[in-house]
C-alpha cells in the first residue's frame, strides 16, 4: 500500500503513526503495570472496554465532523492541531535542552506497580480486580483519545482532496498500536528504549505545521503555492525549534532553571465536594486539561491569531506562523527564566 502513496499521503501516514506510537507506548506501560502487579484478566477487560469506546467515538465522530463546511472544519482542526502540537513541542524542547527530565517509562512502570500493590482487591460484576480494570481502562482511554483525535482530524480534513485519507490515518494508527503492543508484551517490560522525546519532537513539528497550514486556510488566507507551502512551513518550524533548543541549552549552562508553572484557569474539584460537583467538575477539568494543556495563553494566542487572519485579506497567511513563532519563543524563554540563586552573598 505504501508504494502508491504520494508525498502528502506519506506525510499523513508518518504523522499519525509516530503520534500513535508515543501514546501507545504510554498506554502499554500502564497495562503492563496493571497486569504484572494485579490481575491480567481484569487488565485486559479494561483494555477491551476502552478500545470499544474509542472505536465507537472514531466511527461516530468521523461522519459527523465530515458534514461540517470545509472552511469551518479546517479552522477548527487547524486550531486544535496547533494547540496540541505546540504543547508537545514546548515539552520536547524543554526536555531536549535539559530543563525537564526525559520521559522515563521504566520509572513510570515502577511507580504504577508500587501504587497498585498498595490497593486492596475489590471485585465488581464480572471484573475480579476493579483497580486493575480501571487502571488499564483509564490509561488506554486517555492515551487513546489523542489517537482518536489525530485519526479523525487528519483523516476527515483531507478526505475531500484524498478519498483514502481516513483509511490511511486509521491504518497508521492500527499499525502503530499493534507493533507497540506486540513489542511490549514480547519484551514484557516498559518500552524504555523507544526515543519518545525524539518522536514527540517530530510529531510536534508535524502537528504544528499542519495546524498552521489548515488553520490559515480555514481563516480565509491563501498560501502562495498552496500545498507546496508545507515544504517551507515544516522546515521553518523545525529550524525554529532547534534554535530554541540551543538558546535554552546556553541558558542551562548559565544556571537558569525551570520557572514555577502557571496556575490553570480551572482546577480539579476538591475531594470533599459533593458527588455531582466532583463528577461535573472532573469532566470539565479533564477536557480543559486535554485540550488547553498547561498554559491557557497558548490557546488564547492561537484563537486571537486565527481571528485576526480571518479579519484581514486573503494575503494574511504570514500572520499565523508569525504568531506561533512569537508564542513559542515567549513561553519557552519565560519557562526557563528562573534566575540562578546568588551564591556570592
pLDDT in the model for residue 162: 62
**CB-CB neighbours of 182 under 10 Å:** 11
| Bridge partners for 257 per DSSP | 338
Chain centre distance of CA 219: 23
The residue ranking higher by pLDDT, 228 or 104, is: 228
**Average pLDDT of 200-204?**
86
Whether pTM > 0.85 for this model: the answer is no
Query: Please, what is the end-to-end C-alpha distance for the chain in angstroms?
Result: 67
| Bridge partners for 150 per DSSP | none
Secondary structure of residue 65 in the 3-state scheme: helix
Condensed to tens digits (0 to 9), the pLDDT of residues 104-143 reads 666 777 777 777 777 777 887 788 888 889 889 988 888 8
d(CA 317, CA 108): 42
CA quadruple 304, 308, 310, 311: dihedral sign: positive
Condensed to tens digits (0 to 9), the pLDDT of residues 4-29 reads 555 667 777 888 888 888 888 888 88
Whether 216 maps to a domain, the answer reads yes
> Residue 91: is its pLDDT beyond 50?
yes
Whether 75 maps to a domain, the answer reads yes
Whether 72 maps to a domain, the answer reads yes
Whether 16 maps to a domain, the answer reads yes
How sure is the predictor about 344, in pLDDT bands with cuts at 50, 70 and 90?
very low
Whether 308 maps to a domain, the answer reads yes
pLDDT in the model for residue 345: 39
The residue ranking higher by pLDDT, 40 or 282, is: 40
Condensed to tens digits (0 to 9), the pLDDT of residues 156-166 reads 666 555 667 77
pLDDT in the model for residue 3: 46
> Residue 342: is its pLDDT beyond 60?
no
CA quadruple 112, 117, 118, 120: dihedral sign: positive
Whether 303 maps to a domain, the answer reads yes
Tally of domains within the chain: 1
d(CA 6, CA 92): 29
Whether 287 maps to a domain, the answer reads no
H/E element holding 260?
none
Tell me which residue range forms the domain holding 229: 2-258+295-335
> Residue 255: which region, alpha, beta or left (left: phi > 0; alpha: psi -120 to 50)?
left
> Residue 327: is its pLDDT beyond 90?
yes
Q: Which of 98, 20, 93 is nearest to 325 (CA)?
A: 93
Whether 187 maps to a domain, the answer reads yes
CB 196 within 8 A of CB 103: yes
pLDDT in the model for residue 300: 92
The residue ranking higher by pLDDT, 216 or 15, is: 216
Contacts of 276 (CB under 8 A, 6+ apart): none
**Average pLDDT of 186-211?**
78
Amino acid at each position: 500500500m505504501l508504494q502508491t502513496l504520494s508525498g502528502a499521503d506519506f506525510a499523513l501516514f508518518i504523522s499519525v503513526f509516530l503520534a500513535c506510537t508515543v501514546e501507545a507506548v504510554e498506554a502499554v506501560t500502564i497495562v503492563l503495570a496493571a497486569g504484572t502487579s494485579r490481575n491480567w484478566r481484569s487488565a485486559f477487560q479494561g483494555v477491551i472496554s476502552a478500545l470499544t469506546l474509542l472505536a465507537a467515538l472514531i466511527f461516530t465522530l468521523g461522519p459527523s465532523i465530515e458534514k461540517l463546511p470545509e472552511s469551518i472544519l479546517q479552522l477548527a482542526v487547524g486550531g486544535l492541531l496547533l494547540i496540541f502540537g505546540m504543547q508537545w513541542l514546548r515539552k520536547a524542547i524543554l526536555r531536549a535542552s535539559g530543563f525537564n527530565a526525559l520521559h522515563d517509562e521504566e520509572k513510570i512502570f515502577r511507580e504504577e506497580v508500587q501504587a497498585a500493590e498498595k490497593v486492596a482487591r475489590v471485585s465488581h460484576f464480572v471484573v475480579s480486580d476493579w483497580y486493575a480494570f480501571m487502571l488499564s481502562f483509564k490509561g488506554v482511554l486517555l492515551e487513546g483519545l489523542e489517537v482518536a483525535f489525530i485519526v479523525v482530524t487528519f483523516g476527515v480534513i483531507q478526505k475531500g482532496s484524498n478519498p483514502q485519507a481516513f483509511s490511511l490515518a486509521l491504518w497508521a494508527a492500527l499499525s502503530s498500536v499493534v507493533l507497540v503492543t506486540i513489542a511490549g508484551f514480547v519484551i514484557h517490560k516498559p518500552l524504555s528504549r523507544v526515543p519518545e522525546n525524539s518522536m514527540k519532537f517530530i510529531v510536534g513539528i508535524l502537528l504544528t505545521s499542519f495546524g498552521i497550514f489548515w488553520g490559515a486556510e480555514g481563516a480565509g488566507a491563501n498560501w502562495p503555492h498552496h500545498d507546496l507551502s508545507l515544504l517551507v512551513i515544516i522546515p521553518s518550524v523545525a529550524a525554529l525549534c532547534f534554535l530554541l533548543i540551543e538558546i535554552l541549552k546556553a541558558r542551562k549552562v548559565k544556571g537558569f532553571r525551570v520557572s514555577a508553572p502557571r496556575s490553570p484557569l480551572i482546577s480539579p474539584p476538591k475531594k470533599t465536594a459533593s458527588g455531582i460537583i466532583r463528577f461535573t467538575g472532573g469532566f470539565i477539568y479533564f477536557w480543559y486539561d486535554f485540550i488547553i494543556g498547561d498554559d491557557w495563553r497558548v490557546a488564547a494566542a492561537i484563537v486571537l491569531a486565527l481571528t485576526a487572519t480571518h479579519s484581514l485579506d486573503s494575503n494574511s497567511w504570514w500572520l499565523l506562523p508569525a504568531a506561533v513563532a512569537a508564542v513559542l519563543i515567549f513561553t519557552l524563554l519565560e519557562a526557563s527564566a528562573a534566575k540562578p540563586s546568588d551564591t556570592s552573598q
